[in-house]
Structure 1
Amino acid sequence: MDNIEKLQVLTGEKDGVILTVLLEDAEQFVLSYTNRTRMIPQLDNTVRELALIAYNRLGTEGESSRSASGESYSFDNAPKQIYDILNRYRLARVGGRVYETETEQTD
């Protein structure tokens, strides 16, 4: 089962185009944050989680919190556990360059 199918199961969303856009945006965020040029398998779940968070926030862009009917909700950028995973696979810059190995080793 690929990421689109998994997101469809998790969200109930039938429009694969929306989910594809959210997954692509999440992947670009992960690559940018980790200073990588290509995805590694260890980050696939994190990309899917970020896409799911983005899907759940559709319609609330720009809001930091919301209160209605006695219930209040606050929106974080992303949960700390996602940043913990991303930091584990983040590549450091040395002399303004990032050195990425040809083949990644698994944990």
Structure 2
Amino acid sequence: MHSKSKQRGISFIGLLFVGGILAMTGVIAAQAFPTVIEYMAIEKAAQRASAGQSVVEVRAIFDKQAEVDTIKSITGKDLEVSKEGDKVVVAFAYQREIHLAGPAFLTLKYAGRSK
């Protein structure tokens, strides 16, 4: 006598759906990763620029570092330079857009400041 055993697992359509979701996530992550690397370079450049004594000097130091690290999202003009006590503080904020499909974009907003 044979008893019917129930099959368990994922159907082919389910597998295609999950695979499609994973592929889309991978593509978005691959496009977002360089923006994270650039953010870290901007953070490092802002930290170096905070050694400057004037706004002009801070922006010049940042722009030189931006050239070395190929930073394209912001320039020295976009920095907010202030003083807290005797310390120069360099702050920045910007956003990057990643085109998804048709009219859809993923907007990434980055902000930071020197320590």
Name the structure where strand makes up a greater proportion of residues.
2
Structure with higher Rg: it is 2
Class of the TM-score when normalised by the shorter of the 2 chains: under 0.3
Q: Structure 2 length as normaliser, TM-score?
A: 0.26
